Amino acid sequence: MTSLANSAVHRPIRAPRGLGWWLAACAAGLVVLAGLSMAIGAGIGAQKVGPGELVDFLLGRSTEWSASVILSLRLPRTVLGILAGAALGLAGVVLQTAVRNPLAEPGLLGVSAGSAAAVVLAIAFGATALALQVPLAIAGALLGCSLALLVSGLRGSREDPVRLILAGAAINGLLGSVISIALLLDQSTADEMRFWTIGSLSGRDWQVALAVLPPILVGAGIAALILRPLAALSVGEDLARGLGHRPRLVRLAAMLSVALLTGSATATCGPIAFVGLVVPFAARALVGPDIRRTLPLAALLGPMVLLLADILTRVAVRPSELPLGIVMAFVGAPILIAVVRSNRTGPA
Q: What digits encode the pLDDT tens for the residues 296-321?
A: 999 999 999 999 999 988 888 777 78
As a whole number of angstroms, the distance between CA 227 and CA 307 comes to 27
pLDDT band at 190 (very low <50, low <70, confident <90, very high): low
**How do residues 20-35 score in pLDDT, each as one tens digit?**
899 999 999 999 999 9
Helices (H), the chain: 2-9, 19-39, 51-58, 64-69, 75-99, 111-124, 130-152, 161-185, 190-198, 206-225, 227-235, 237-242, 247-269, 275-287, 291-315, 324-341
Of 45 and 157, the one with more pLDDT: 45
- How confident is the model at residue 13, as a pLDDT? 45
Domains detected in the chain: 81-341 (1.10.3470.10)
Residue 6 predicted with pLDDT over 50: no
pLDDT band at 213 (very low <50, low <70, confident <90, very high): very high
Q: What is the pTM of this model?
A: 0.84
**How do residues 69-97 score in pLDDT, each as one tens digit?**
888 888 999 999 999 999 999 999 998 88
Sign of CA dihedral 50, 52, 53, 54: positive
Cβ atoms of 302 and 86 closer than 8 Å: yes
